[in-house]
Chain A
């Protein structure tokens, strides 16, 4: 994974909060703020896990005192937690570089996944309805999640999270107006 950590193309779009464009393919990236948001939400999860792990290890220590198993477990748990925190710091920017999307006259196309790669396309006019949702932490970053519902079976809702709220709303409106007439399967 040779990923540049500093996200140069994202540098100037930090001020606008909008998504930088990948000039080669006309694919757009997610909002750069999403990296910070992902880092924060992962860090929160890791902190909660740390809390749970500490409490359970502490209760064990209070009941049985220090023994070899406890020490081994302590080492294992804290290595794992350290890994979680490292990934919370590192992973969002890696995955940011592997996520892109475009909306053209054929529909919406999303590329994502670092190890397991996925390309998803929702052809024009297949969207039954589209939602934009925003969690409390997302709101403080000005981010939103776009959810497209189709009549498909295996992945009937396509989720694109990490857009700026403005883009998500615009995209939803575009997709809804793009849908030609009433479409029934």
Chain B
């Protein structure tokens, strides 16, 4: 995907006339040049700075990480069993990386001059990357414990273009990073851009029939602390989530791969222990000991489940400890992390989709989680990146009474009053349709069951029927849809309730789908597609709408989606 970066007005602005002429190239904030004589004149090498000296270590580690395991094994066996060639192979892998890091360190320099961030790098192919300050969207940073010990941080500079950061500075000292941040975000070019996009937000055409909405523009210099997450919330969120399960399955996978024998041994010895404890050999015959075994395995299951939840708590605390959300003009800034500190910023104009998730346990505790989707960038590929913090885990947990305020801070023209929203439910015949479907499913399951076993085949069907019926009744009621003067809201889910908001100016494609069954029931599915729909885990596909209603909504949404001037940053 290639996006143009700026509205056309910005080109007429004096601040970024530097890149007026390449307004059509997809990645226009970057020129990459072979390093030649003319470039020497362009780059004032005199005041360009190096990265922090420890960059050597971090760059080396980052590259070595990809093949650390084979090398470690090679070194281990090579050293212990005198296999010299393994040592040589390891060295052949490690030494080029080391050289690369050393050369990399001595060739990469950066500076800010003339409203541009200039990064010069490369060993053989030198290239110069020129990023106009006005184009910079975020300066994100990651600090793992080693970084923090050495008071440095990995800095990523992002523009709106595509998936990967425009430049990665690995690593800068914290002081340098702060001065870079302030140099960028307080530069006249950046502020000019912010105020200009701000007026773009303010200039939205008046809403059609909605109540008079004050467009509370965010002023560029205003900074506000929106949210701090106390540890108690994180503990609850951890208890409510299944994160631990993921961790357990990952670790089980790792264990079973590396320690197969020991694993088996552990299991058999646990079994043996249980058997021994109960005076084993007559185990199957003695009813007493059977109860003990059942009790013991129940206890073990409870302990394991508890452990999984505790792991979840640990995961939440490690990742999100000290979570802070701030709004700085039109940017949201997030920072969190117990060991690895991550800080990310999100320009509010880039928010496409907001989704509030409330699982069953979270609802009991009065908590919610908020996810957002921003354009550009890949979805949840990398769990540890700043990206996943800013999208999938935008607000990992929040108390119900803070939700309204946070949601309203995400867009100047967004009014959020969830309790008083006028939701449209789906067609009243949905329950009938789903109940009928449940009956058909039950019949099929029962017939298949009977074909397998005449004596017990009816049992699964009998168990399934009430569950399917309950689901059929609940599902129709759980789906709700609302259209307001600026946005579309969709809510669904029986256990895990998800409420999502998207905006007319963010709608990419609208569609109506009708299966033959839909037509039989006079229903239709309305889909609202936005960019980067993924990390929020909630698709706007509103099924079982009345056919006529769906078509009317489709027509109105078409007009609304086209009628709004696009807003972006």
Q: What is the interface of chain A, defined by CB distance below 8 A to chain B?
A: 105-107, 109, 113, 115-126, 128, 150-156, 158, 180-185
User: Does B539 belong to the interface (CB within 8 Å)?
Assistant: yes
Top 5 closest pairs, chain A to chain B, by CB: A152-B508, A123-B561, A185-B375, A151-B531, A124-B562
Contact A182 B513 (CB under 8 A): no
User: Which residues from A are CB-within-8-Å of B375?
Assistant: 151, 184-185
User: Which residues from A are CB-within-8-Å of B508?
Assistant: 122-123, 126, 150-153, 156, 185
User: Does B7 belong to the interface (CB within 8 Å)?
Assistant: yes
Q: Which of B227-235, B246-254, B330-338, B514-522 contacts A (4 or more CB under 8 A)?
A: B514-522
The total of interchain contacts (Cβ-Cβ below 8 angstroms) comes to 125
User: Which residues from A are CB-within-8-Å of B519?
Assistant: 117
Contact A184 B554 (CB under 8 A): no
Contact B512 A119 (CB under 8 A): yes
Residue of B whose beta carbon sits closest to that of A121? B510
User: Does B530 belong to the interface (CB within 8 Å)?
Assistant: yes
Contact B511 A153 (CB under 8 A): no
User: Which residues from A are CB-within-8-Å of B514?
Assistant: 113, 116-118
User: Does B413 belong to the interface (CB within 8 Å)?
Assistant: no
User: Which residues from A are CB-within-8-Å of B513?
Assistant: 116-118
User: Which residues from A are CB-within-8-Å of B352?
Assistant: 185
Contact B2 A120 (CB under 8 A): no
Contact B3 A185 (CB under 8 A): yes
Contact B530 A152 (CB under 8 A): yes
Contact B1 A151 (CB under 8 A): yes
Residue of A whose beta carbon sits closest to that of B4? A182
Contact A107 B516 (CB under 8 A): no
Contact A183 B568 (CB under 8 A): yes
Chain A's nearest CB lies how many Å from the CB of B331?
A: 16
Contact B533 A154 (CB under 8 A): yes
Contacting residue for B510 out of A123, A125, A151, A180, CB 8 A: A123
User: Does B299 belong to the interface (CB within 8 Å)?
Assistant: no
User: Does B17 belong to the interface (CB within 8 Å)?
Assistant: no
Contacting residue for A154 out of B160, B515, B529, CB 8 A: B529
Chain A's nearest CB lies how many Å from the CB of B481?
A: 17
User: Which residues from B are CB-within-8-Å of A113?
Assistant: 514
User: Does B6 belong to the interface (CB within 8 Å)?
Assistant: yes
In this complex, the member of A116, A126, A181, A185 whose beta carbon has the largest number of chain B beta carbons within 10 angstroms is A185
Contacting residue for A116 out of B5, B515, B527, CB 8 A: B515
Contacting residue for A123 out of B6, B507, B515, B539, CB 8 A: B507
Chain A's nearest CB lies how many Å from the CB of B71?
A: 39
Contact B5 A184 (CB under 8 A): yes
Given the contacts A128-B1, A183-B568, A184-B375, A153 and B534 also touching, CB distance less than 8 Å = yes
Contact B568 A152 (CB under 8 A): no
Given the contacts A116-B514, A185-B532, A106 and B509 also touching, CB distance less than 8 Å = no
With A and B bound together, what is the CA distance between A151 and B529 in angstroms?
9
Residue of A whose beta carbon sits closest to that of B23? A182
With A and B bound together, what is the CA distance between A122 and B507 in angstroms?
9
Contact A152 B562 (CB under 8 A): no
Contact A153 B507 (CB under 8 A): no
Question: Given contacts A121-B554, A153-B530, could you give 19 more A-B pairs where the C-beta distance is less than 8 Å?
Answer: A106-B562, A117-B514, A118-B512, A121-B511, A128-B2, A151-B375, A152-B533, A153-B529, A153-B532, A153-B534, A154-B539, A155-B509, A184-B3, A184-B375, A184-B566, A185-B3, A185-B375, A185-B530, A185-B532
User: Which residues from B are CB-within-8-Å of A115?
Assistant: 515-516
Contact B507 A180 (CB under 8 A): no
User: Does B506 belong to the interface (CB within 8 Å)?
Assistant: yes
Contact B7 A181 (CB under 8 A): yes
Contact B160 A121 (CB under 8 A): no
Contacting residue for A180 out of B506, B561, B565, CB 8 A: B565
Given the contacts A152-B529, A153-B533, A181-B7, A120 and B509 also touching, CB distance less than 8 Å = yes
With A and B bound together, what is the CA distance between A148 and B506 in angstroms?
17
With A and B bound together, what is the CA distance between A156 and B509 in angstroms?
8
- 0 or 1 for each of B398-429: is its CB under 8 Å from A? (1 = yes): 00000000000000000000000000000000
- 0 or 1 for each of B221-265: is its CB under 8 Å from A? (1 = yes): 000000000000000000000000000000000000000000000
